[in-house]
C-alpha cells in the first residue's frame, strides 16, 4: 500500500514547513521546566509590548502586540511569566533546531528564525508521516523545542497545512495535505476553513480588495479567474493562486539572498540628550554591524548614520536626519568604520533634542574574497597592514564568540552598565547557551 502511494507521487515535489511552536516562549521554557504549564509571554525591545505568547497566554486573551503597561496587572494576577526578549538565546536555539532538521534532507530553506521549508520528495503516505513524526521527536529531544509540520505539494499548501496543524490538536503535530491531493471535496473543505488573509503572501492589503469582491476563504481565492488575479494582485498573486491549485511556482531559496545592507539600530530605553551618549550608541551599533559583516565575509563601501526623536511625543520638538558617506576602499575593519560613523554623527547631531533612536547602516556590500582589486590596495605596505587588521579582527571576533559579546570592545562603545542609553530589559532570562557566566547550573 505504502509502495503504491509512493509510486503514485514519484516525480512531484513534496514540501514540508517546519514551524517552532510559540518559539520565543518555548526557548524560555527549555531552561525553566517549572514554566511548562504556566502562561508565558515575551516582550519586545524596551519591554514595550507582547511579541510572543504561550498557548496558555493566548487562552487568557492576551493579544499579540498588547502594550505591557496596560496588561501588567492582568499578567501578574494570572501568574504569567514575563520575559524581555533575549535574542542571543533565541538565535542560538534556532541554529540548533535548523541543524537537526538539515540532517533529514539535503534541500532546505531557512525561512525565518523559527521556520524552515524542507523538500521531502519521494516519500508519501505513511512513510511521509513517520518521517515527519521522527523529525519532530528528534528536534524536541535534542533541543527541547516543540515544532509542527505541515506538508503539501507546493510551498503555499505546506503553509496552509501548517496552519491547520496548529489549530487541530488531533493532528499531533503533523498534517500531511498530500493525502488529499486527489480528493477535490477534501481539498475544498480544508481551504474553506482558512481565512484568505492567512494565506501566505496575501496580507492585509490584498485581503481588503478580496473582501470587496466577496472572497473570504483560501478556496474562493483559489477559484478566482487568472486574469482578475494578475490585474489586481500582480504575477506574485497569481503564483499564490496557482500554488493553492497544486501547481508549484516557488522553489526553495537555497541560500539566503545576498544582503544589500546591514542595519544596526535600536530604540533607546530613555531619551538621549547628550552628544556623548549618542556617540556611544553609534559606536556600539557599528561594532555589531561590523562583526556581522565579517561573519558573512563581506566588505562595505558605504557607511550611513541616522538619528531621530520620538514622533509620538508631540510636546517635544522633532528632528530626524540620515547621512551616508562613501569610503575610499571597501572595508570590514571596525576601527575605520567607527571613525567614519563618529564623523557622520557629528554632521547631523543637533543639540537640544531628545533622541529616541540612532542607528548605523552599511551598504555597497561585496564579497570579501575574489573581489576586484582597488588602486589603493597596491600602495606600498597596504597589503601587510590589511593582513594585520584582519588578524586583529579575527582574534577579537573569536574572543567575543567564545566569552560573550562585548568581551573585547572599543572604548568608544561605552563601558557596560553605566551606559544610560541602553535598552530597557527588566526581565531578560540568562543567555544560557552563549555566555559562560550565564550557563544553566544543574543540581
Ligand atoms: Mg512559529
Q: How many A from CA of 115 to the centre of ligand 1?
A: 6
Stated length of the chain: 443
Query: According to the model, what pLDDT value does residue 4 have?
Result: 38
In this predicted structure, what is the pLDDT of residue 378? Answer: 57
Residues 6+ apart with CB under 8 A from 107: 118, 119, 252, 254
**What are the tens digits of pLDDT across the range 130-176?**
999 999 999 999 999 999 999 999 999 999 999 999 999 899 999 99
- The boundaries of every CATH 3.30.1490.100 domain in the chain are 261-418
Q: Which helix (H) or strand (E) holds 358?
A: strand 355-363
In the chain, which residues fall in CATH 3.30.70.270?
Answer: 1-182
Q: What are phi and psi of 152, to 5 degrees?
A: -155, 175
Query: Separation of 181 CA from ligand 1 center, angstroms?
Result: 25
Residue 6 confidence (pLDDT): 40
- DSSP structural state of residue 194: S
Rounded to the nearest angstrom, the distance between the alpha carbon of 36 and the centre of ligand 1 is 17
**Topology of the domain comprising 261-418:** Dna Ligase; domain 1 (3.30.1490)
What distance in angstroms lies between residue 278's CA and the mean position of ligand 1's atoms? Answer: 35
DSSP state of 195: B
Q: Computed from CA positions of residues 229, 230, 234, 235, in that sequence, does the dihedral angle turn out positive or negative?
A: positive
Question: Domain spanning 1-182: which CATH class is it, in words?
Answer: alpha beta
Please answer whether residues 223 and 201 qualify as being in contact, where contact means their C-beta atoms are separated by less than 8 angstroms: no
Give residue 139 CA to ligand 1 midpoint distance, Å: 14
What is the CA(184)–ligand 1 centre distance, in A?
Answer: 29
Kindly give the distance from the C-alpha atom of residue 395 to the centroid of ligand 1, in angstroms, as a whole number. 36
Q: What is the dihedral of CA 318, 324, 325, 327, to 10 degrees?
A: 130
Tell me the CA–centroid distance for residue 207 and ligand 1, in Å.
22
Predicted TM-score (pTM) of the model is 0.63
What is the percent of the chain with per-residue pLDDT over 90, rounded to a whole number?
50
Q: For residue 194, report the distance from its CA to the centre of ligand 1, in Å.
A: 17
Out of 170-184, 188-202, 225-239, 378-392, which region has the weakest mean confidence (pLDDT)?
378-392
Amino acid at each position: 500500500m505504502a509502495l503504491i502511494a509512493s509510486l503514485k507521487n514519484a516525480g512531484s515535489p513534496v514540501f514540508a514547513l517546519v514551524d517552532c511552536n510559540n518559539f520565543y516562549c518555548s526557548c524560555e521554557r527549555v531552561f525553566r521546566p517549572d514554566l511548562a504549564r504556566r502562561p508565558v509571554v515575551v516582550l519586545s525591545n524596551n519591554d514595550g509590548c507582547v511579541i510572543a505568547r504561550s498557548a496558555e497566554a493566548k487562552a487568557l486573551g492576551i493579544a499579540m502586540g498588547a502594550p505591557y503597561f496596560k496588561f501588567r496587572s492582568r499578567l501578574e494576577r494570572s501568574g504569567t511569566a514575563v520575559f524581555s526578549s533575549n535574542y542571543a538565546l533565541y538565535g542560538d536555539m534556532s541554529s540548533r533546531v535548523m541543524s537537526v532538521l538539515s540532517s533529514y534532507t539535503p534541500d532546505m530553506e531557512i525561512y525565518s528564525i523559527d521556520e524552515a521549508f524542507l523538500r521531502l520528495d519521494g516519500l508519501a503516505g505513511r512513510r511521509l508521516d513517520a518521517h515527519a513524526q521522527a523529525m519532530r521527536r528528534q528536534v524536541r529531544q535534542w533541543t527541547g523545542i516543540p515544532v509542527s509540520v505541515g506538508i503539501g505539494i507546493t510551498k503555499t499548501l505546506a503553509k496552509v497545512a501548517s496552519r491547520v496543524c496548529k489549530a487541530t490538536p488531533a493532528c499531533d503535530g503533523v498534517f500531511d495535505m498530500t493525502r488529499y491531493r486527489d480528493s477535490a471535496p477534501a481539498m475544498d473543505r480544508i481551504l474553506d476553513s482558512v481565512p484568505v488573509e492567512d494565506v501566505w503572501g496575501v496580507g492585509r492589503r490584498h485581503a481588503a480588495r478580496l473582501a470587496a469582491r466577496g472572497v473570504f476563504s483560501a478556496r474562493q481565492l483559489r477559484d478566482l479567474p487568472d486574469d482578475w488575479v494578475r490585474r489586481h494582485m500582480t504575477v506574485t498573486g497569481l503564483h499564490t493562486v496557482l500554488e493553492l491549485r497544486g501547481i508549484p511556482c516557488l522553489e526553495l531559496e537555497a541560500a539566503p539572498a545576498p544582503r544589500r545592507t546591514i542595519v544596526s539600530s535600536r530604540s533607546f530605553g530613555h531619551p538621549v540628550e547628550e552628544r556623548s551618549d549618542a556617540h556611544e550608541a553609534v559606536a556600539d551599533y557599528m561594532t555589531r554591524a561590523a562583526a556581522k559583516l565579517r561573519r558573512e565575509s563581506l566588505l562595505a563601501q558605504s557607511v550611513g548614520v541616522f538619528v531621530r526623536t520620538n514622533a509620538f511625543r508631540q510636546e517635544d520638538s522633532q528632528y530626524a536626519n540620515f547621512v551616508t558617506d562613501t569610503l575610499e576602499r571597501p572595508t570590514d575593519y571596525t576601527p575605520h568604520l567607527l571613525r567614519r560613523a563618529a564623523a557622520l554623527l557629528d554632521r547631523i547631531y543637533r543639540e537640544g533634542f531628545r533622541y529616541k533612536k540612532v542607528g548605523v547602516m552599511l551598504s555597497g556590500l561585496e564579497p570579501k574574497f575574489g573581489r576586484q582589486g582597488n588602486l589603493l590596495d597596491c600602495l606600498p605596505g597596504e597589503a601587510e597592514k590589511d593582513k594585520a587588521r584582519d588578524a586583529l579582527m579575527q582574534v577579537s571576533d573569536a574572543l567575543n564568540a567564545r566569552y560573550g559579546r562585548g568581551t573585547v570592545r572599543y572604548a568608544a562603545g561605552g563601558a557596560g552598565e553605566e551606559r544610560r542609553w541602553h535598552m530597557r530589559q527588566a526581565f531578560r532570562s540568562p543567555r544560557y547557551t552563549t555566555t559562560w557566566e550565564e550557563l544553566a547550573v544543574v543540581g
